[in-house]
Amino acid sequence: MALSWNKNLETGINIVDSQHKELVENLNKFFDACMEKRGKEELINMIKFLEKYIVFHFKTEEDIMQRHNFPGYSFHRSKHEEFIKSFTEIKRRFETEGATLEITTNTTKFLSDWLINHISKIDKQLSSIK
């Protein structure tokens, strides 16, 4: 379930686009690890890395929005908070239940769908910031 970066996902804000590309690359590594049925510890370490990177990335976006008085800031931030709650639950399930087929399948689908939809529908609005 590899994600592909394309120009339609670009916001025009270099740091945001660069971080999105890195996020896509790391999610693809996680998806590969799930498909290869790597061990629980390796997958949990990858999830922990993704969690830190996502929080870092969301802070970057939110700082940019605040600096430019972006009108959709509150809504955008709420979407980030919802995702973090969902991701925390994913991490908890991996830690307690392991990398079952159900968990890895649901996780890869959720992450790929959320990322593509969030970037293409919500982050794309950041292109109005120059």
Q: Is the dihedral of CA 95, 93, 40, 81 positive or negative?
A: negative
Kindly report the pTM of this predicted structure: 0.89
Tens of each residue's pLDDT in the chain, 130 residues: 678 888 888 999 999 999 999 999 988 898 888 888 887 788 888 899 999 999 999 999 999 999 999 999 999 999 999 999 999 999 999 889 888 888 888 988 898 899 889 998 899 888 888 6
Q: Is residue 47 within 8 Å of 27, Cβ to Cβ?
A: no
Residue with tokens 């969301």: 58
